[in-house]
Chain A
Amino acid sequence: MNAVLKVEPKTITEPQVLLQVRNLTKLYGQVTGCLDVSFDMRAGEVLGIVGESGSGKTTLLNCISGKLAPTSGTIAFNARRHGLKDIYALSEPDRRRMQREDWGFVHQNPRDGLRMRVSGGANVAEPLMNLGQRHYGNMRQSTIAWLSRVELDLKRIDDKPRNFSGGMQQRIQIARNLIHNPRLVFMDEPTGGLDVSVQARLLDLLRELVRDLGLAAIIVTHDMAVARLMADRLLVMKGGNVVETGLTDQVLDDPQHPYTQLLVSSVLQI
């Protein structure tokens, strides 16, 4: 609570490196989660991680988002309070505070990311309370502003999440993860489990918000269309390894690695 806001001198020119992953490896005993992954991310960039089920996408996301300590390697994040620092070198309370202040995490299943026993409005306002806001009227206003931004019916602000449809629950989750003005948002299959028309509208909304706010985002998906629509850059994973990386259009239009070629060619055409 009384830590001083310290910003270390920046050596890198704009835009700053926001996230720096080096030689990240996670082993589950003999089983490989992900192997020797390295990449940089800058502010405002949207990174897509694609690959089949079991390719290590979620392991990688969990390691980067501080949920799962890696076996080896470092993940440095440029936090508002700490500057560019290895997140696992921070003390646990510092890391938790950084997660609250600088990050958002949109789960595939809204039930994992929302508190199902409290109303949609309170779910959206919770990050503000976690950051120390104690004025009901102000929080209510921000909540209403965000709910209208994600195109949710304001009359239903005090309904419980279980009374909302899947698409609406996902909208509440998105509002909840953006209201505190994070610098980096993790999204694990944000449109999985939704029907295509809802998916399209949600993707449209997400793309708009990410661009408007200048957010950096990491999106894990197995849906090439989502990757094409949202991501600036792609990381293609197979068996825990990153087999190909590059600009989205480049990777999808001219895939080099055999697996990426297979992945791109197996997208269903209507």
Chain B
Amino acid sequence: MNEISEIKIDNKPPQERYYTYAYLDEQTKRMIRRAILKALSIPGYQVPFGSREMPLPYGWGTGGIQLTAAIIGPNDVYKCIDQGADDTTNAVSIRRFFATVADVATTEDTAKATIIQSRHRIPERPLQSGQIMVLQVPQPEPLRSLEPRETETRAMHAYEEYGLQYVSLYENISAYGRIAATAGYPVMIDERYLMSPSPIPKFDNPKLDMSPAILLFGAGREKRIYAVPPYTKVRSLDFEDYPFETQTWDEVCALCGSDTSYLDEVVLDDQGNHMFVCSDSHFCAERRENGHLGPLAGHSLAQKSDDSNANRVLQEGIAK
């Protein structure tokens, strides 16, 4: 599971299809790279770019894929996660896509990857210098739900008028008694630009702060790229009397026993049984390999989900 697997579906040597290496043509990649450089120079600022049609629908990661295609090279090691897991449909498809079009090695190991593309999570294992995190963004504008006019939100960013964002937090407290927003929790980048970290849970917000890795955000439908360069201050918004807090769980991971990771609830049957497991599948697997055991260790869901295993689980289900 931790080994770097080399999948080469197209047998043509890389130089023969160099022009459209990694799916996009050279001009498009240059345009995207320019946007990335601008985004890195102005941390948190949304740079417009000419988003291309990609071979998958908007909302499935077109922005992230274009970013990855623009920065990937044959020596990169690529990891793709969806909801924290390496083996979900979308993650598998996008990983295979780049293995095919860019001849890169792929991995599930966070430490070995040079480019990590993700939708909802930042891996539990701290990112390192030299790594690039690519995030797929549905709505890049944090103020959009409060202010529908693009001309107005642009002026607000330009003049640093961010009082309005606090209205959403105020609403949260008056309705729930605490800041209940969980994902896409707004952050200030280097005390200048307000940014939506997009669909990552606020649990991951502290990982953005002073991260040694480059963080790139791409919104394909909205045609915006923004970035957080390494070692940049990222502050989650809050009130003086309601400070920022991340989610916590009373349970530990049922499989690996971790009490520090982000947990997903998994429903086990119709009788109300459920368990909490790490959302970061590689983090969980690595812990189990190192001998950490949770209360439900050895559960059938802990097995590696290859086809034979899926069949076995299915058979067990039928037998019951």
Residues of A within 8 A of B (CB): 1, 92-93, 96-97, 100, 115, 117-119, 121-122, 125-126, 129-132, 134-137, 139-140, 157-158
| Set B159, B167, B171, B173: member contacting A96, Cβ < 8 A | B159
Shortest distance from the beta carbon of A2 to any chain B beta carbon, whole Å: 11
* Chain A, residue nearest B175 (CB): A158
* Chain A, residue nearest B169 (CB): A136
- Count of chain B residues near A, Cβ 8 A: 21
| Set B161, B163, B241: member contacting A136, Cβ < 8 A | B241
Contacts of B146 in A (CB 8 A): 115, 117-118
24 residue pairs of the A-B complex, CB under 8 angstroms, read A93-B158, A96-B161, A97-B159, A118-B146, A121-B174, A122-B167, A122-B170, A125-B167, A126-B164, A126-B167, A129-B166, A129-B170, A130-B161, A130-B163, A132-B163, A135-B240, A135-B241, A136-B170, A136-B239, A136-B240, A137-B241, A139-B170, A140-B174, A158-B175
Contacts of A130 in B (CB 8 A): 161, 163-164
Q: Complex formed: what's the CA distance from A87 to B146 in Å?
A: 27
* Chain B, residue nearest A157 (CB): B174
Contacts of A96 in B (CB 8 A): 155, 159, 161
* Chain B, residue nearest A158 (CB): B174
| B contact patch SS | helix
* B246 contacts A by Cβ under 8 Å: no
Q: Complex formed: what's the CA distance from A137 to B163 in Å?
A: 16
Contact of A129 with B159 in the complex, beta carbons under 8 Å: no
Q: In the complex where A119-B171, A122-B171, A158-B175 touch, is A134 in contact with B240 (Cβ < 8 A)?
A: yes
* B160 contacts A by Cβ under 8 Å: yes
Contacts of B160 in A (CB 8 A): 1
Contacts of B175 in A (CB 8 A): 119, 158
* Chain B, residue nearest A125 (CB): B170
* B242 contacts A by Cβ under 8 Å: yes
* Chain A, residue nearest B166 (CB): A129
> Per-residue CB proximity of B168-181 to A under 8 Å, as 1/0?
10110111000000
Q: Complex formed: what's the CA distance from A92 to B152 in Å?
A: 13
Q: Complex formed: what's the CA distance from A131 to B145 in Å?
A: 21
Q: Which 10 A-B pairs have the closest CB atoms?
A: A130-B163, A93-B159, A129-B163, A129-B166, A136-B239, A135-B240, A122-B170, A122-B171, A137-B241, A158-B174
Known: A1-B160, A119-B171. 19 other contacts (CB 8 A): A96-B159, A96-B161, A118-B168, A121-B170, A121-B174, A122-B167, A122-B170, A125-B167, A129-B163, A129-B164, A129-B166, A130-B163, A130-B164, A134-B240, A135-B239, A135-B241, A136-B173, A136-B242, A140-B174
| Set A118, A131, A134: member contacting B171, Cβ < 8 A | A118
Shortest distance from the beta carbon of A115 to any chain B beta carbon, whole Å: 7
Shortest distance from the beta carbon of A267 to any chain B beta carbon, whole Å: 40
